[in-house]
Structure 1
Amino acid sequence: FVNSMSDLFHENMPFSFLDKVFQVIEQTPRHSYQILTKREKILQAYCSQRKMPDNVWLGVSVESAKTKHRVDILRDISANIRFLSVEPLIADVGQLDLSGIHWVIVGGESGHKARPMKLEWALNVQEQCTRQNVAFFFKQWGAWGEDGVKRSKKANGRIFLGREWNEEPILHY
Structure 2
Amino acid sequence: MAQKSEIEWTDATWNPVTGCTKIGPGCDHCYAERFAERWRGIPGHPYEQGFDLRVWPERLDQPKRWKKPRMIFVNSMSDLFHKEIPRKFIDQVFETMESAHWHVFQVLTKRSSLMRNYIRKRYSDRSVPSNIWLGVSVEDKPHASRIEHLKQINSPARFISFEPLLGPVGEIDLKDIAWAIVGGESGPQARPMAEEWVVEIRNLCERDEVEFFFKQWGGPRPKSGGRLLDGVEWNGFPWQMVPEPILERLAS
Q: TM-score range by the shorter chain?
A: over 0.9
5+ residue gaps, structure 1, are 144-150
Determine the structure 2 residue equivalent to 1:38.
110
Aligned residue among 142, 147, 172 for 1:71: 147
Aligned mates of 1:86, 1:155 — CA distance in 2: 18
Aligned-residue identity in percent? 48
Q: What code does the residue aligned with 2:234 have?
A: W
> Could you tell me the TM-score, scaled by structure 1's length?
0.92
Determine the structure 1 residue equivalent to 2:235.
166
Q: What code does the residue aligned with 2:136 have?
A: V
Question: Residue 95 of structure 1 aligns to a residue in which SS?
Answer: coil
Determine the structure 1 residue equivalent to 2:191.
115
Aligned mates of 2:104, 2:156 — CA distance in 1: 11
Give how far 1:28 is off. Answer: 0.8
Determine the structure 2 residue equivalent to 1:135.
211
- 1:14 pairs with 2:108: no
Determine the structure 1 residue equivalent to 2:119.
47
The superposition leaves residues 17-71 of structure 1 with CA deviations (integer Å, 9 ceiling, x where unpaired) of 1110111111111100000000012112211211232211100001000110000
- 1:89 pairs with 2:161: no
Question: Residue 120 of structure 1 aligns to a residue in which SS?
Answer: helix
Aligned residue among 74, 97, 106 for 1:25: 97
When Rg is computed on C-alpha atoms for both structures, the one with the higher figure is: 2
Aligned residue among 200, 208, 214 for 1:124: 200
RMSD: 1.1
5+ residue gaps, structure 2, are 1-72, 244-252
> Could you tell me the TM-score, scaled by structure 2's length?
0.64
